[in-house]
Amino acid sequence: MSTRVERDGDGPPGSLALALRLGGIVLIAAVTLVPVLVTGPVVALARGGEAARRHAWSRLTTLLTRLGPAFVKAGQVLGTRRDVLPAAMCDELATLRDAVAPLPAWRAREVLAEVYGDEVDTLFAEVDYAAVASGSIAGVHRARLASGREVALKLRRPGIERVMRLDLHLVRRVAGLVAGLPPLRGVPVVEVVDAMCAAVLGQLDFDREAASLARLRAELAVVPRVWVPRVVPEACRPRCIAMEFIPDLDVDAAARCSPAARRKFAASGLTAIYEMLFVNGFVHCDLHPGNLYFTESAQVVVLDAGFSVQLSERLRLLFADFFLNMAIGDGDKCAAIVVESSAEVRPDADLPGFLDRMADLVRRSHKLSAREFSLMAFATEMFDLQRRHGIHAASELIFPLLSLLVIEPTIRELDPQADFQELARPVLMKGRFSSR
């Protein structure tokens, strides 16, 4: 994953900046987590050890939210690593939301002037400086080009890169220290954190995201009813992406549509993910409801390609083979593929035990009806088996699995009867056996 971005600051963070930020983190962590020493035992006595652990992980998500955008995004990515982290912890990390107040209109005006310089008055006929959407990295503004064309401007927050680099630098240092602790020996702490940092920093690279959007638009053109906004290259800058403006996006639009339309939405959304995973190997990993919309004209709209990854050809084929064999219930083959695609098999790994239990999981899942089958339940059990038997998944493989887990609740809400395995079959055949 590329992490090349235009710098908002002057080089790497200095020692003083690191020390001050570290002191702030320690203070916030103490205020947030120390009370758990009192409330944790109370919860354990009243509701049991599992409830106490969930209470502790809940306070962890509160801490990450208070620490800021780098930690929120890091927590979101780490929450996918169910092969090395407890499931209850991952469940809590999955609740992290990237909700930040937009820049004031006067500040957005200043930032756009900084980004476009003298061109701002000639390139744009009109700009709405009140954001129509906002996250920790960027806000989105509606604008009209001098040509009359309406565009959406994804404008990066000023100074956000320096803040995130500073925080992630500290995260890497801490990871290097804790990796040597006895409870974490054998766990690929540094590798997991490095992959997480790369994923977070990749979302700052707007040149890369613009290219990713253009690529997704081209590759998903074969999926009926899927709409990826067109990038407007002449109005893009390293800190701002200009794209086609899609009006009237509403997270509740699907609820107003007929059951038949909702089933079409579900099929199109799943087919789009499968096309990314099995055919092209280029995957949008963050299709939560803020990035995936459904329109009353029966379109599925895909936005925000900042968190996209390219699978190697080897892992694309292994991923496709896994799902193909899962669709026919070949548990032994699926188990072997998981081991083949892993980043590491620990010296003390129980390989025979893992192969037996993984094969059994696939066979049990194959017998479930569409309503009973849950990707989340399947992935949680698979990752738990990997963690307990010493099989560490490749970081590259975690992100495409994340794309499926993120979209599953939306698909289930649209069509409770959606058959994830059956809908995958034609795309699997295309991706596995046709020439690319």
Question: Which tokens in the block code for residue 392?
Answer: 């560490």
Count CB-CB contacts under 10 A for residue 332: 14
Digit-coded pLDDT (tens) for 298-333: 889 999 888 888 888 988 888 889 988 988 899 999
What is the crossing angle of helices 15-33 and 160-178, to 10°?
A: 70
d(C-alpha 117, C-alpha 137), whole Å: 21
Digit-coded pLDDT (tens) for 337-353: 999 988 888 888 999 99
Q: Which residues contact 260 (CB under 8 A, 6 or more apart)?
A: none
Q: Which residues contact 312 (CB under 8 A, 6 or more apart)?
A: 281, 396
- Report yes or no: 198 and 4 within 8 Å, Cβ to Cβ: no
- Report yes or no: 313 and 281 within 8 Å, Cβ to Cβ: yes
Q: Which residues contact 184 (CB under 8 A, 6 or more apart)?
A: 178
Ranges of the chain with pLDDT below 70: 1-13, 77, 80-84, 97-99, 178-179, 181-189, 434-436
First to last CA, the chain: 22
Q: Which residue has the tokens 């983190």?
A: 25
- Report yes or no: 279 and 427 within 8 Å, Cβ to Cβ: yes
**How buried is residue 351: exposed, middle or buried, by Cβ count under 10 Å (0-12/13-18/19+)?**
middle
Residue 327 DSSP code: H
Q: Which residues contact 324 (CB under 8 A, 6 or more apart)?
A: 428, 432
d(C-alpha 211, C-alpha 215), whole Å: 6
d(C-alpha 209, C-alpha 371), whole Å: 36
Give how far the C-alpha of residue 4 lies from the chain's centroid of Cα atoms, to the nearest Å: 19
Q: What integer pLDDT is reported at residue 342 of this predicted model? A: 87
Q: What integer pLDDT is reported at residue 6 of this predicted model? A: 44
Q: Is the dihedral of CA 188, 189, 190, 192 positive or negative?
A: positive
Q: What integer pLDDT is reported at residue 208 of this predicted model? A: 94
Question: Which tokens in the block code for residue 407?
Answer: 């979209």
Convert 108-144 into a string of H (helix), E (strand) and C (coil): HHHHHHHHHHHHHHHHEEEECCCCCEECCCEEEEEEE
- Report yes or no: 234 and 210 within 8 Å, Cβ to Cβ: no
d(C-alpha 289, C-alpha 44), whole Å: 35
- Report yes or no: 160 and 103 within 8 Å, Cβ to Cβ: no
Closest CA to 401 of 329, 302, 318: 318
Give how far the C-alpha of residue 382 lies from the chain's centroid of Cα atoms, to the nearest Å: 19
Count CB-CB contacts under 10 A for residue 257: 18
Whole-number CA gyration radius for the chain: 23
DSSP string for residues in 262-303 = HHHHHHHHHHHHHIIIIII-EEE---STTTEEE-TTS-EEE-
Specify which residues 342 forms β-bridges with. 393
d(C-alpha 215, C-alpha 169), whole Å: 31
Q: What integer pLDDT is reported at residue 1 of this predicted model? A: 45
- The reported pTM is 0.80
* Residue at 37: amino acid letter: L
Count CB-CB contacts under 10 A for residue 169: 17
